[in-house]
C-alpha cells in the first residue's frame, strides 16, 4: 500500500498537466549556425577534435541522408519538420571539458540538482531512502544539449577496467574501439533519423566492459535539452565483452516550451559471448500541454546485437513523456543460445502519440525472446504497440513469447496493436497474445467499497497492471517510474 | 529533401492500361457504369500494382508476381459448359442450387434456375448493369475501399451473379456459386457478384473456384454482400484453382443490426491466392464470425487480409484462422479488428495459428488491433510452430504409426474451424477434403 499512497500523494501535489521538469536554465551557450550543411558537420567534428575518418563517416551519412525521405508508416501525425530551422550543436559557453565538478558551471549543477540527478559522488538519486552504508553507487554521465558536462566515478570504474566516458572523448582516447563497433549495429543508412544522427551526433555515452568483468555499479546517462530550437542527437555505444555484465540507465527531460523540439538518438549495444547488458530507460521528455502544443519529438533508434553465444540483452522502458514517440528498441539474436527481453510501459495522456515496440530478430539456434508490453492511453492520446518477431531459416529452436496489453482510460483515446510474426522454420515456437480493455468496473468497485477514493483505486489497479514491467527496473528507477505513472494518469479519472 | 520517386510503370501495368482502353466499350453497363469503371481504373493507375511498400500487400508483391496482363477469357462454348457441370467434386454430395459462372460469364443454361424459392431472385451482373435496375446502384457502394486489386475488378468487371433475397425469405437448400475456368490458356477473368438480403432473410451460400492445372490464368473475383437487419448469412468459399493460377478475391460485407454473419474460407489450390475480407458491422448486436483454413504445399502462397470494422456498439466478432504448410509454402495472415469511436461493449477475438510441416515453409502473421473506444474487450493471439512432439510421442507410444498420428493431429488442428460450420454435409465434405490433402501429401 505504501507505494500506492505515495503515487496518490504525488498526483495530489501536482496540478493538471504540470510538467515538473519544465524549467529552463539561463545559461549562455555557443551554437553552430542554424541549419544543416557540410560546414555545420565539419564544425561539429572540429569542435569535438575528431579524427579525420570520423568526419568522413559523418559526411558520408549526410550525403546519404539527403537522398532519404522521412518514414510515414507509423501511426503518428505531425507537421513536417523543417530540418534547416534547427540548431544542430549547442554547448554551454566557454565549455571546456571540466577536470572536476568544481569547474562545472554552477547553473548546470543547479539544473541537475533540481532534476534530482546525483552528480556528486556521495549523492544518490533523489527519492530513494536507504540506510547510509547500503547506498547503491551510480555513475552518471550528464549530457546537456550537445555536450557531456560531467561523468562521475570515473576513477573507480577505471580501476575495474570499465571505460565509461562521453563518446566524443572516447573517439580521442579509444579510437580503435569506437571505430570497430560504431555503426556496426545501426548502420549509417539504417533509417532517416538514424542517418541524420550519424551525420550530426554530438555526444552520448561510450561504455566498454572488459572480458569477465561485472561492472561494479549501475551506469547512467542523463539527457537534458535546454537550448531553444535545438535538436538533440546523442549516440550511445555499449560493448559488453565476453562474460561481462552491465546495467545501464537512461533518463531524459526538457524545458516546457510552445514549439516542438527534435530528439533523434541512436543507441547501439554489442554483446559478446556469455555477456549481458540490461538497459533501462525512463523517458520523461516534455509531452506538450493539454492541447498538444509543444513537446519533444522523440525519434530514436535503439538496437542491440547479441553477437556472442549465450549473450543477453534486456530492454526495459517506461515511456511517459514526449509529444511523439517513435521508438523500437530491438535485439538481433545472432549468437547461439542468446536471448532478448523487452519490457515496456508506455503511457500517453493529453494529445501524446506513442508508436513504440520492439523487434526480435532470431538468427541463431536456440535463441529466445520475451516481450511484455503494457500500453496505457488516456485523454485524447493514441498509443500503438508495433513489434516484429522473426525467425530466420537457421534459427532452429527459436522461441518467443509476446504479451502486449492495452488499457484505455476515457473514450477519446486510442490503443492499437500491430504485431508482425514471421516464422521461416518449423522449429521456431512463437506465441503472441494481446488484450485491450478498460479498467474493470468490478475492480474499482471492490477497491472503493473498501474505502479507497476513485483516484486511489485507479492508481492501485494501474500499478497492478504494470507490475510485471516495473519489477524489471533497477530499484532506484522503479520508484521514479511509479511516480511518473501517477503524474501521467493525473486528470484522467472520471 | 528528395521527393518520393514515382515508380516506373511495369509492363503489366502498361498492358492493363492498353487492355482497359480497348475493351471498355465492350464491357456491360450504361454511362454511369462506364464512369465508375473509369474512376476505378484511375484509382488503380495512380497506385499501380501493389508491392511490398504497400502495407496491406506487404507479403504479396503483386507488382513482381503479375508479369503480364493476359487477354480476357472468351465466353464459354458448349464444350466448355459441358465440362463445367462436373466442377467442384468436393461439394458434389450436397444438395444445392448450383449457379455457374464459366470463364467469367454467367451460364444460365447449365444453372439451376427452376422453382426459385419465394423472395429469391437471380440475375447475371451483365444483365443488371445493363438494365439500370436499382441493384446496379449497389455495386461498388457496399464497403468503400481503394484497394488496387479491387479497383481493377471494378474497372474490368464482366459478369457475375446478382442475388437478392426479400425480407423474411429463407432458402430450402444452399446456393452454390460455381466459378470455373475451363480454358487451358493464359487468360484473365474479372467477376463481380452481389448478394442483397432483406430483413430477417436467411441463406447458406457456397462458393467454389477452380480451373485447369498447368495454366497460368488469373482470376480476380469480388462479392458484395449486404446482410439486412436480423438476417442470417453463412458463406463458405472454397479456393481450389489450378496449380499455376493467380487468384485474388475480395469480400465486401455490410452487416446490419441484429444480423448473424459467418464466413469461412477453405483454401487448397492455386499458385498465389489472396483473400481479402472487408467487413463492416454497421448496426448493434451483430454476431460475426470469420474463419479460414489453408492447406498448402510446394511453392503455394496464400495470403489472407482481413479488416473487421466495429462501427456500432454491442457487437461480437470472432476470427479463427488455421494454416497447415508443407514444402516451400508461405501463408500470410494480416487481420485487423478496428473499433470505431462509440462502438462500446465490442467483444472481439482474433486467433491465427500456423502449423509448419517442413523446414522450408514460412508463416507470416500480423494480427492487428485498432481501438478507439474504452469499454471494449478485444484480444488477438497468434502461434506458429511444428506439431507438438509430446502429443506425437504419446500417440506413437500407443502403437499408432507416425504418419497417421500426424494426420490425426493436423485434422484436429483444422477441425476447430471446420466444426464450427453449421451445415453437416459441408462439414463432412471439408473434413474429407482435408483427409485427401493429407493423403496426397505423403
**C-alpha closest to that of A485 among A226, A283, A277, A206:** A283
Highest mean pLDDT out of A26-40, A146-160, A239-253: A239-253
CA dihedral B196, B199, B204, B206 (to 10 degrees): 10
Highest mean pLDDT out of A36-45, A250-259, A467-476, B228-237: B228-237
- Residues B276-288 have a mean pLDDT of 96
A106-110, A214-218, A299-303, A327-331: range with lowest mean pLDDT: A106-110
Give the orientation angle of helix B31-47 with respect to helix B148-156, to 10 degrees: 150
Which pLDDT score is estimated for A321?
A: 80
pLDDT in tens, B191-243: 999 999 999 999 999 999 999 999 999 999 999 999 999 999 999 999 999 99
Which pLDDT score is estimated for B223?
A: 97
Residue B179 scores a pLDDT above 80: yes
The answer to whether the beta carbons of residues A145 and A223 sit under 8 Å apart is: no
pLDDT in tens, A292-323: 788 888 999 999 999 999 999 999 888 888 88
The yes/no answer to whether this complex scores an ipTM above 0.85 is: no
Share of chain B above pLDDT 70, in %: 98
**H or E segment at A331?**
strand A330-333
C-alpha to C-alpha distance for B351 and B370, rounded to whole angstroms = 15
Confidence label for A3 from pLDDT (cuts 50, 70 and 90): very low
C-alpha to C-alpha distance for A337 and A305, rounded to whole angstroms = 13
More confident residue, A20 or B92: B92
Which pLDDT score is estimated for A189?
A: 87
Please spell the DSSP secondary structure of A128-153, one letter per residue: ----GGGPPPEEEEEEETTEEEEE-S
B360 touches chain A (CB under 8 A): yes
Q: What is the Rg, in whole angstroms, of the alpha carbon atoms belonging to chain A?
A: 22
pLDDT in tens, A384-400: 999 999 999 899 889 88
Residue A280 scores a pLDDT above 70: yes
Which pLDDT score is estimated for A470?
A: 72
**Does the distance separating the beta carbons of A432 and B381 come in below 8 Å?**
yes
User: In residues, how long is chain A?
Assistant: 494
- Residues B247-263 have a mean pLDDT of 97
Chain pair A-B, CB pairs under 8 angstroms: 127
Which pLDDT score is estimated for A267?
A: 94
Cell (9 digits) for A79: 507537421
For residue B269, the distance in angstroms to the closest alpha carbon of chain A comes to: 22
Which pLDDT score is estimated for B1?
A: 39
Q: ∠ CA(B295), CA(B297), CA(B299), 5° rounding?
A: 130
Residue A122 scores a pLDDT above 70: no
C-alpha to C-alpha distance for B428 and B424, rounded to whole angstroms = 6
Highest mean pLDDT out of A94-98, A101-105, A437-441: A437-441
Which pLDDT score is estimated for A61?
A: 93
Interface test with A, best of B353, B372, B406, B409 (most A CBs within 10 A): B372
pLDDT in tens, B365-382: 999 999 998 888 888 888
Residue B396 scores a pLDDT above 60: yes
A327-336, A425-434, A471-480: range with lowest mean pLDDT: A471-480
**C-alpha closest to that of A251 among A229, A288, A225, A289:** A225
The answer to whether the beta carbons of residues A263 and A294 sit under 8 Å apart is: no
Q: How many CA atoms lie within 13 A of A460 on its CB side?
A: 18
Q: CB within 8 A of A94, min separation 6: which ones?
A: A30
Confidence label for A154 from pLDDT (cuts 50, 70 and 90): confident
Give the residue ranges of DSSP H helices in A120-257.
154-160, 167-173, 175-181, 192-200
Confidence label for A474 from pLDDT (cuts 50, 70 and 90): low
A356-360, B171-175, B382-386: range with lowest mean pLDDT: B382-386
Confidence label for A345 from pLDDT (cuts 50, 70 and 90): confident
Residue B250 pairs in a beta bridge with: B222, B276
B372, B379, B385 member nearest A435 (Cβ): B379
A83, A417, A423 member nearest B368 (Cβ): A417
Residue A445 scores a pLDDT above 80: yes
Which pLDDT score is estimated for A98?
A: 53
3-state helix, strand, coil in chain A (%, to 5): 25, 35, 40
Residues of chain B positioned with their CB less than 8 A from the CB of A417: 367-369, 380
A109-113, B81-85, B98-102: range with lowest mean pLDDT: A109-113
Please spell the DSSP secondary structure of B17-48, one letter per residue: HHHHHHHGGGSSS-HHHHHHHHHHHHHHHHH-
C-alpha to C-alpha distance for B28 and B139, rounded to whole angstroms = 13
A228-237, A455-464, B417-426: range with lowest mean pLDDT: A455-464
pLDDT in tens, B292-349: 999 999 999 999 999 999 999 999 999 999 999 999 999 999 999 999 999 999 999 9
Residue A12 scores a pLDDT above 50: no
**Does the distance separating the beta carbons of A434 and B369 come in below 8 Å?**
yes
Residue B357 pairs in a beta bridge with: none
Which pLDDT score is estimated for B208?
A: 96
C-alpha to C-alpha distance for B388 and B395, rounded to whole angstroms = 11
C-alpha to C-alpha distance for A26 and A93, rounded to whole angstroms = 12
Cell (9 digits) for A388: 516484429
Q: Which residues 110-169 of chain A have a CB within 8 Å of chain B?
A: none
Confidence label for B160 from pLDDT (cuts 50, 70 and 90): very high
C-alpha to C-alpha distance for B112 and B98, rounded to whole angstroms = 6
How distant, in Å, are the alpha carbons of A311, B170, B226, B230 from that of B199? 62, 11, 10, 6
A35 touches chain B (CB under 8 A): no
Q: What is the Rg, in whole angstroms, of the alpha carbon atoms belonging to chain B?
A: 21
Residue B355 pairs in a beta bridge with: B324, B385
pLDDT in tens, A175-210: 999 999 999 999 988 899 999 999 998 888 899 999
Confidence label for A10 from pLDDT (cuts 50, 70 and 90): very low
User: In residues, how long is chain B?
Assistant: 442
Share of chain B above pLDDT 90, in %: 81
B340 touches chain A (CB under 8 A): no
Which pLDDT score is estimated for A169?
A: 87
The answer to whether the beta carbons of residues B271 and B244 sit under 8 Å apart is: yes
- Residues A268-286 have a mean pLDDT of 90
Highest mean pLDDT out of A87-101, A195-209, B79-93, B307-321: B307-321
Which pLDDT score is estimated for B2?
A: 40
C-alpha to C-alpha distance for B439 and B116, rounded to whole angstroms = 39
Amino acid at each position: 500500500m505504501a507505494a500506492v499512497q505515495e503515487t496518490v500523494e504525488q498526483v495530489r501535489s501536482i496540478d493538471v498537466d504540470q510538467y515538473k521538469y519544465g524549467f529552463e536554465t539561463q545559461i549562455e551557450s555557443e551554437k553552430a549556425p542554424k541549419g544543416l550543411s557540410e560546414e555545420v558537420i565539419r564544425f561539429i567534428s572540429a569542435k569535438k577534435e575528431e579524427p579525420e575518418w570520423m568526419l568522413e563517416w559523418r559526411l558520408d551519412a549526410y550525403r546519404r541522408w539527403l537522398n532519404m525521405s522521412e518514414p510515414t508508416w507509423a501511426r503518428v501525425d505531425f507537421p513536417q519538420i523543417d530540418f534547416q530551422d534547427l540548431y544542430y550543436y549547442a554547448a554551454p559557453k566557454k565549455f571546456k571539458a571540466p577536470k572536476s565538478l568544481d569547474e562545472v558551471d554552477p547553473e548546470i549543477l543547479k539544473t541537475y540538482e533540481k532534476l534530482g540527478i546525483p552528480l556528486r559522488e556521495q549523492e544518490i538519486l533523489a527519492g530513494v531512502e536507504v540506510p547510509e552504508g547500503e547506498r547503491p553507487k551510480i555513475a552518471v554521465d550528464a549530457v546537456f544539449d550537445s555536450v557531456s558536462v560531467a561523468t562521475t566515478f570515473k576513477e573507480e570504474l577505471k580501476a575495474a577496467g570499465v571505460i565509461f566516458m562521453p563518446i566524443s572523448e572516447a573517439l580521442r582516447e579509444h579510437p580503435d574501439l569506437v571505430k570497430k563497433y560504431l555503426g556496426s549495429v545501426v548502420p549509417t543508412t539504417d533509417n532517416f533519423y538514424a542517418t541524420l544522427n550519424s551525420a550530426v551526433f554530438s555526444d552520448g555515452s561510450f561504455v566498454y566492459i572488459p572480458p569477465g568483468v561485472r561492472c561494479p555499479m549501475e551506469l547512467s546517462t542523463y539527457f537534458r535539452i535546454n537550448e531553444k530550437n535545438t535538436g538533440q542527437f546523442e549516440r550511445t555505444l555499449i560493448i559488453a565483452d565476453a562474460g561481462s555484465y552491465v546495467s545501464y540507465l537512461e533518463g531524459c527531460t526538457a524545458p516546457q516550451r510552445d514549439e516542438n523540439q527534435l530528439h533523434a538518438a541512436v543507441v547501439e549495444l554489442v554483446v559478446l559471448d556469455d555477456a549481458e547488458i540490461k538497459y533501462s530507460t525512463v523517458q520523461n521528455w516534455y509531452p506538450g500541454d493539454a492541447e498538444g502544443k509543444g513537446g519533444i519529438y522523440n525519434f530514436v533508434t535503439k538496437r542491440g546485437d547479441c553477437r556472442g553465444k549465450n549473450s543477453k540483452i534486456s530492454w526495459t522502458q517506461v515511456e511517459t513523456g514526449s509529444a511523439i514517440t517513435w521508438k523500437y528498441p530491438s535485439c538481433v539474436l545472432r549468437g547461439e543460445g542468446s536471448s532478448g527481453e523487452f519490457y515496456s510501459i508506455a503511457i500517453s495522456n493529453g494529445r501524446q502519440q506513442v508508436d513504440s515496440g520492439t523487434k526480435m530478430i532470431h538468427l541463431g539456434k536456440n535463441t529466445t525472446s520475451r516481450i511484455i508490453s503494457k500500453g496505457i492511453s488516456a485523454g485524447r492520446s493514441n498509443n500503438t504497440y508495433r513489434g516484429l518477431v522473426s525467425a530466420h531459416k537457421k534459427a532452429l529452436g527459436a522461441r518467443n513469447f509476446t504479451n502486449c496489453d492495452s488499457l484505455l482510460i476515457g473514450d477519446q483515446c486510442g490503443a492499437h496493436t500491430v504485431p508482425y510474426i514471421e516464422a521461416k522454420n518449423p522449429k521456431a515456437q512463437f506465441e503472441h497474445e494481446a488484450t485491450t480493455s478498460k479498467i474493470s468496473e468490478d475492480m474499482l468497485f471492490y477497491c472503493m467499497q473498501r474505502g479507497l477514493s476513485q483516484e486511489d483505486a485507479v492508481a492501485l489497479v494501474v500499478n497492478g497492471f504494470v507490475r510485471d514491467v516495473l519489477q524489471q527496473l533497477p530499484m532506484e528507477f522503479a520508484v521514479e517510474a511509479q511516480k511518473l505513472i501517477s503524474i501521467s494518469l493525473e486528470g484522467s479519472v472520471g | 529533401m528528395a521527393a518520393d520517386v514515382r515508380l516506373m510503370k511495369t509492363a503489366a501495368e502498361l498492358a492493363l492500361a492498353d487492355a482497359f482502353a480497348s475493351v471498355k466499350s465492350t464491357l456491360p453497363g450504361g454511362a454511369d457504369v462506364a464512369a465508375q469503371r473509369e474512376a476505378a481504373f484511375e484509382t488503380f493507375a495512380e497506385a499501380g500494382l501493389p508491392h511490398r511498400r504497400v502495407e496491406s500487400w506487404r507479403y504479396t508483391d503483386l507488382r513482381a508476381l503479375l508479369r503480364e496482363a493476359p487477354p480476357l477469357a472468351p465466353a464459354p462454348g458448349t464444350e466448355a459448359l459441358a465440362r463445367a457441370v462436373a466442377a467442384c467434386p468436393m461439394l458434389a454430395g450436397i444438395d444445392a442450387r448450383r449457379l455457374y459462372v464459366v470463364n467469367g460469364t454467367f451460364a444460365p443454361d447449365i444453372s439451376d434456375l427452376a422453382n426459385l424459392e419465394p423472395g429469391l431472385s437471380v440475375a447475371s451482373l451483365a444483365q443488371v448493369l445493363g438494365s439500370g435496375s436499382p441493384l446496379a446502384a449497389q455495386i461498388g457502394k457496399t464497403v468503400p475501399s481503394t484497394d488496387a486489386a479491387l479497383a481493377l475488378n471494378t474497372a474490368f468487371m464482366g459478369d457475375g451473379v446478382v442475388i437478392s433475397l426479400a425480407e423474411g425469405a429463407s432458402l430450402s437448400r444452399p446456393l452454390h456459386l460455381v466459378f470455373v475456368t475451363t480454358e487451358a490458356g493464359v487468360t484473365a477473368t474479372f467477376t463481380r457478384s452481389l448478394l442483397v438480403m432483406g430483413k430477417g432473410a436467411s441463406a447458406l451460400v457456397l462458393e467454389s473456384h477452380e480451373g485447369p492445372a498447368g495454366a497460368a490464368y488469373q482470376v480476380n473475383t469480388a462479392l458484395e454482400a449486404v446482410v439486412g437487419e436480423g438476417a442470417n448469412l453463412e458463406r463458405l468459399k472454397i479456393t481450389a484453382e489450378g496449380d499455376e493460377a493467380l487468384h485474388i478475391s475480395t469480400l465486401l460485407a455490410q452487416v446490419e443490426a441484429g444480423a448473424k454473419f459467418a464466413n469461412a474460407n477453405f483454401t487448397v489450390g492455386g499458385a498465389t491466392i489472396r483473400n481479402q475480407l472487408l467487413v463492416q458491422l454497421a448496426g448493434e448486436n451483430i454476431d460475426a464470425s470469420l474463419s479460414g483454413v489453408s492447406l498448402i504445399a510446394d511453392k503455394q502462397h496464400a495470403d489472407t487480409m482481413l479488416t473487421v470494422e466495429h462501427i456500432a456498439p454491442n457487437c461480437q466478432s470472432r476470427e479463427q484462422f488455421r494454416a497447415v504448410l508443407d514444402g516451400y509454402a508461405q501463408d500470410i495472415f494480416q487481420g485487423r479488428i478496428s473499433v470505431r469511436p462509440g462502438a462500446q461493449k465490442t467483444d472481439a477475438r482474433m486467433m491465427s495459428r500456423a502449423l509448419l510441416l517442413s523446414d522450408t515453409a514460412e508463416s507470416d502473421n500480423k494480427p492487428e488491433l485498432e481501438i478507439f473506444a474504452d469499454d471494449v474487450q478485444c484480444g488477438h493471439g497468434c502461434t506458429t510452430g511444428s506439431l507438438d512432439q509430446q502429443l506425437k510421442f504419446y500417440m506413437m507410444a500407443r502403437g499408432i504409426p507416425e504418419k497417421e498420428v500426424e494426420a490425426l493431429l493436423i485434422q484436429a488442428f483444422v477441425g476447430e474451424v471446420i466444426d464450427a460450420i453449421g451445415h453437416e454435409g459441408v462439414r463432412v465434405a471439408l473434413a474429407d477434403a482435408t483427409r485427401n490433402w493429407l493423403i496426397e501429401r505423403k
